[in-house]
Amino acid sequence: METQVAHGATIRLHYKLSSPAGAVFESTFEDEPVTLILGQGELAPNLENCLIGLPLHERHVFMLEPAQAFGCFDAGLVQRIPRAEFPPEMALAPKVMVEFQLPNGTTLPGVIQEIGPSDAVVDFNHPLSDCPVIFEVEVLEIMPGAAALRPPDSH
């Protein structure tokens, strides 16, 4: 059994994201732990980097500035999108989160800022961009990445 988190490992953990003022954005400590594979994009890359080298069963707290967490606000990520690019059945309203399918198959979430007669302004910045974040984590189990990625036997 692995004793420290490494890139590519599958880990089971509890984590909490909160603001320095105490607002909790997300937490698993009161629920079931999550299982994820480092390097698969299930957590933001900067948060994944905090996990590398962590031992089992120790709670760690990371104080992250905006650039270390979800990045700083980028005005270039606020875009006018023609209404024709939205599915016709989608109800467009300010503060609604929408997802766009990219050519490579991934989705890009954004939040509608305003609606015009022919377009909508969508902010593709992470909702926590420009926010300092406290990342609290406890790794409960570390499994080698190759074992987690191996398909089950088909006997």
The CATH number of the domain where 45 resides is what?
3.10.50.40
Give the whole-angstrom CA distance, residue 110 versus residue 117.
Answer: 19
88 domain residue, yes or no: yes
1 domain residue, yes or no: no
For residue 147, what is the enclosing H or E element? helix 145-149
- Length of the chain, in residues: 155
Question: If pLDDT is split at 50, 70 and 90, which confidence band does 145 have?
Answer: low
Average confidence (pLDDT) over 77-106:
88
Average confidence (pLDDT) over 96-103:
85
6-18 residue pLDDT tens? 888 899 999 999 9
3 domain residue, yes or no: no
Identify the CA nearest to 137 among candidates 63, 69, 30, 51: 51
Are 65 and 132 found together in one domain?
yes
Share of the chain above pLDDT 70, in %: 92
At residue 101, the pLDDT reads: 81
Are 17 and 47 found together in one domain?
yes
β-strands 133-143, 119-123 pairing:
unpaired
16 domain residue, yes or no: yes
Residue 118 has pLDDT above 90, yes or no: yes
Are 140 and 115 found together in one domain?
no
2 domain residue, yes or no: no
Are 141 and 116 found together in one domain?
no
- Full domain range(s) for residue 63: 10-71+128-149
Mean pLDDT for the chain overall: 88
Among the residue ranges 73-77, 96-100, 133-137, 148-152, the one predicted with the least confidence is 148-152
Residue 146 has pLDDT above 50, yes or no: no
At residue 94, the pLDDT reads: 94
Give the whole-angstrom CA distance, residue 17 versus residue 69.
Answer: 10
Are 138 and 117 found together in one domain?
no
5 domain residue, yes or no: no
At residue 66, the pLDDT reads: 94
34-61 residue pLDDT tens? 999 998 888 888 899 999 999 999 999 9
Are 66 and 80 found together in one domain?
no
Count how many domains the chain has. 2
Backbone angles phi, psi at 112, to 5 degrees: -70, 130
CATH number at residue 105: 2.40.10.330
At residue 151, the pLDDT reads: 40
* Strand, coil or helix: 117: coil
